[in-house]
Structure 1
Amino acid sequence: MSYETIAVLMFAGMVFLMLTGQRVFAMIGAVAAASALALYGNASAELPFNAAFKLFSWHALLTLPLFVFMGHMMSKSGIAEELYQMMHVWFGKLPGGLALGTVFLMVIISAINGLSVAGLAIGSAIALPEMLRRGYDKALITGVVQGGSTLGILLPPSVVMVLFAVIARQPVSDLWLAGVFPGLIMAVIFAAYVWIRCKVNPSLAPKLSDEELAMPLVDKLKLLRAGIIPVLIFVVMIGLFVTGYTSLLESAAVGAVSAILAAAWKGRLSFALLNETARETMSVTALFMWVILGALAFSSVFDGIGAVRAIENVFINNWELSPWAVILLMQASFIVMGMFLDDTAMLVIVAPLYIPLVAQLDLGIDNQMIWFGILYTMTCQIAYISPPFGYNLFLMRGLAPKEITLIDIYKSIWPFVIMIILTIGLLMTFPQIATWLPSQFRG
């Protein structure tokens, strides 16, 4: 049997097992173990141990539980709820004001969390009931919460980028910096879409009452204090890191400790809060660690049989595809996979196949792997909200008020999928959107 056939069987076997709905890391590890035993015999027993030691030597992974802890602590201590109240008042006079405020709330939540799930949970629990009560269109606001929550994996401190950096051996700081402008551009596009739709069709977003709009300026300024804590934590954490005063791990620790202090300052810190946050942090971290371990074992076998070279030979020599055609083919495959898999599963599948191949392509782009990391992350945003099995779609169904049906959820996401694709097109046309800031930082 040729190595190309073995590679195809490994890939097909992994995809088939994932479709059974079992744990991602177990399916990946099973394919890696079976392939290693078939190819190398008993000598392959060292493979998972080598992968484990490699995993434990990556210091960047130590930031993962700290960022997850910080996000959960800020969410469960009620700071996000106060943020929404501030947005509610300050954006109330604009067409679709509450929906616009929700978009910017998602940007702030993203900047203190790094996960999509937290933004979705906060938006579903706080923003959706409030906008429904005021008569906002169900499809519009559901799309705003789902689309806005995906910014959590694009803006720093993105946890998905930490995983990509570990597997692709790229600096996490460069990936974070590269995601800033694409993330902000996408947020502006989302906000422009909401404003234009509500301006053209005011019935989608009824205005606030006269009593709410007549709030004295002094009271409005007091509400601004709700945004000081999360913004201050983000500025201190990222500022110390990019200026070189702290390492990535130390900055993550600063963020986690700052979140605890913020909860204490608000008078909401308790043993129950710490216990619940710690348990959820351990659950998320353990899941990610197992997935990466399985991915490393799979990649070791996949690389060992020369599969990457075989794929490169097929794309470049046999099919005679240009480098940009290869990138477009990869993007198409991301979107198809995203309809059935989450971002972690996608990364595990594509890492052994695409990352080495992208490194060999001559696209004429500085920081090419960093640029591709942002491209991959933005496609993961589509994966989160793509029917039929987008992760956020089912999470939204479980979290949303009963008035919002699954049909409403499916209808709501298409404009946001199109806007994300538009932003991806901008990034492919103008790679400097992602590469300029990391290059300036290094300079």
Structure 2
Amino acid sequence: MTPNLIALSMFGAMLVLLFTGQRMFGMIGFVAVVAAMLLWGDRGGYDLAFAQSIKLMSWFPLMTLPMFIFMGYILSESRLADDLYRMFHVWFGPVPGGLAIGTIFLMVLISAMNGLSVAGMAIGATIALPELLRRNYDKLMVTGVIQAGSSLGILIPPSVVLVLYAMIARQPVGKLWLAGVLPGLMMAGLFILYIWIRCRISPELGPVLSPQERAQVSRAEKIRLLRAGLLPFGIFLAMMVPFVTGYVRLVESSVIGALAATLAAAVKGRLTWAVVETATRQTLAVSCMFLWIILAALAFGAVFDGLRAVDALKGLFLEDLHLNRWTVLIIMQLTFLLMGTFLDDTAMLVIVAPLYVPLVDALGFDLIWYGVLYTITTQVAYMTPPFGYNLFLMRAMAPPEITLHDIYRSIVPFVGVMIVALALVIAFPQIALWLPETLYNR
């Protein structure tokens, strides 16, 4: 059996097993170990799994994963975002669509303290959505805003998805996080621009606060809210400034973030035993899930390395089909969009990374830049039916008056904005690469 046929058989077996409904990492790891045993004997299969386990456990930056997840859950469970949203409510109320714009700012800051889209979605759906609907904002507008804003959590550092990509692609997490900063802020800016233009054209979509409501908030109250709302921003600065300036490494930075979030919750009087227990349990569950996924991906990739499947795929695209490397890159992104209709981000990465990441490197593209492209494509996949992870979360958290049909319609313009952002990063790679190159070459 040729290496190409073996690789194709592995993909086929993996997809069949995934449809059984079993754990994704279990099925992928099972296919990898069985394939290794058939190719190189029993000892080869055992050695493959053991070697990848040792590689995973010895990867020191992986320590950042539980720290940032814990920080995010502490902030979420202690409701420190309530004051932040109240601040945006007051300061952006006079602007057309101001509360929706404030919601995007809220999501950016939550993303910068969590790394998972689920926390942003939970906070947006429980804090922002009821207030926006009460203020007579268009339900399609606000539903799309919350879904789009929460997707920023997997691009703006500390992104957990980029940690997963870093491990599989063997790239520095710090560089990937820095590469996600400007594209993430650019996408947030495009969201804000779209909201402002739409609400300027159709004021009924995002009505401003009335003069009477604005008069009820004194200047002293605005200043108090500004101080209270900037506390989460201070946590982010306390965590990232020492890292960016080179005083601490990434792992130490994550510890600072977790300690700062815990201290902030204690100072606000919201650090209860229930908050600590819930945050710890959720951190353990999410961290273990990602560890198993990374282990399965490493084992799967090791088999592909042994088969030299990447060389065969490169030859197919460039020599047999005579495609140029940019066409191959676009085809790869289109396959991510297609898979995103029925798979989540981690499943997509684990399934295709063993082929795509080495292929991108062989084609001469920067793997840091491609990590940002993958993440933006994942954001789009989060919001496209029928799978659409964010669609399901929104349906579970939204009030009854927001139907599934409304949720599907609401994401259309924001998906368009994301595709524009993706095209800009492809056309101008320095949007992603300028910051890591500048700081790491300093």
TM-score tier by shorter-chain length is over 0.9
What residue is the counterpart of 2:406 in the other structure?
A: 408
Confirm whether residue 94 of structure 1 aligns to residue 92 of structure 2: no
Contact 1:124 1:396 in 2 (8 A): yes
Give the AA of the match of 1:202. P
* Deviation for aligned residue 1:291: 0.6
What residue is the counterpart of 1:160 in the other structure?
A: 161
What residue is the counterpart of 1:396 in the other structure?
A: 394
Contact 2:385 2:391 in 1 (8 A): yes
What residue is the counterpart of 1:280 in the other structure?
A: 282
What residue is the counterpart of 2:122 in the other structure?
A: 121
What residue is the counterpart of 1:189 in the other structure?
A: 190
Contact 2:84 2:230 in 1 (8 A): no
Confirm whether residue 45 of structure 1 aligns to residue 43 of structure 2: no
* Deviation for aligned residue 1:14: 1.8
Alpha-carbon separation, structure 1, partners of 2:402 and 2:23: 29
What residue is the counterpart of 2:312 in the other structure?
A: 310
Within 5 Å, give how 1:346-361 maps onto structure 2.
346-361=348-363
Give the AA of the match of 2:40. Y
Cα-to-partner distance string for 1:31-87 (whole Å, 9 max, x where unaligned): 112222322231212221111111101111111000000001011111111111111
* Deviation for aligned residue 1:324: 0.5
Alpha-carbon separation, structure 1, partners of 2:96 and 2:417: 20
What residue is the counterpart of 2:13 in the other structure?
A: 13
Q: Which blocks of at least 5 consecutive residues in structure 1 are unaligned?
A: none
What residue is the counterpart of 2:341 in the other structure?
A: 339
**Percent of counterpart pairs with the same letter?**
57
Contact 1:60 1:166 in 2 (8 A): no
Alpha-carbon separation, structure 1, partners of 2:419 and 2:15: 25
* Deviation for aligned residue 1:204: 1.3
The one of 370, 373, 377 aligned to 1:372 = 370
* Deviation for aligned residue 1:229: 1.5
Give the AA of the match of 2:266. A
Give the AA of the match of 1:86. M
Aligned length: 439
* Deviation for aligned residue 1:315: 1.2
Give the AA of the match of 1:424. L
Within 5 Å, give how 1:62-211 maps onto structure 2.
62-211=63-212
CA RMSD, Structure 1 to Structure 2 (Å): 1.2
The one of 317, 322, 340 aligned to 1:320 = 322
Give the AA of the match of 2:258. A
Alpha-carbon separation, structure 2, partners of 1:194 and 1:309: 46
Within 5 Å, give how 1:261-280 maps onto structure 2.
261-280=263-282
What residue is the counterpart of 1:289 in the other structure?
A: 291
Alpha-carbon separation, structure 1, partners of 2:155 and 2:308: 32
Give the AA of the match of 1:403. E
* Deviation for aligned residue 1:402: 1.7
Contact 1:7 1:307 in 2 (8 A): yes
Within 5 Å, give how 1:412-423 maps onto structure 2.
412-423=410-421
The one of 221, 232, 235 aligned to 2:234 = 232
* Deviation for aligned residue 1:207: 2.8
Cα-to-partner distance string for 1:116-162 (whole Å, 9 max, x where unaligned): 11101100011111111121111110000000111111111111111
Give the AA of the match of 1:14. M
Contact 2:368 2:433 in 1 (8 A): yes
- Worse overlay, 31-40 or 350-359: 31-40
Give the AA of the match of 2:271. L
Alpha-carbon separation, structure 2, partners of 1:144 and 1:422: 17
* Deviation for aligned residue 1:169: 1.0
Give the AA of the match of 2:103. T
Contact 2:85 2:229 in 1 (8 A): no
* SS of match in other structure, 1:389: coil
Cα-to-partner distance string for 1:384-431 (whole Å, 9 max, x where unaligned): 111110111111111112221111110011111111110011111111
* Deviation for aligned residue 1:271: 1.5
Q: Which blocks of at least 5 consecutive residues in structure 2 are unaligned?
A: none
Give the AA of the match of 2:415. V
Alpha-carbon separation, structure 1, partners of 2:424 and 2:158: 23
Contact 2:383 2:391 in 1 (8 A): yes
Alpha-carbon separation, structure 1, partners of 2:313 and 2:16: 20
Give the AA of the match of 1:200. I
Alpha-carbon separation, structure 2, partners of 1:106 and 1:439: 27
Alpha-carbon separation, structure 1, partners of 2:244 and 2:335: 34
Cα-to-partner distance string for 1:355-388 (whole Å, 9 max, x where unaligned): 111111135xxxx111111111111101111111
Confirm whether residue 330 of structure 1 aligns to residue 332 of structure 2: yes
Contact 1:128 1:401 in 2 (8 A): no
Contact 2:71 2:113 in 1 (8 A): yes
What residue is the counterpart of 2:23 in the other structure?
A: 23
* SS of match in other structure, 1:224: helix
* Deviation for aligned residue 1:193: 0.7
Contact 1:89 1:212 in 2 (8 A): no
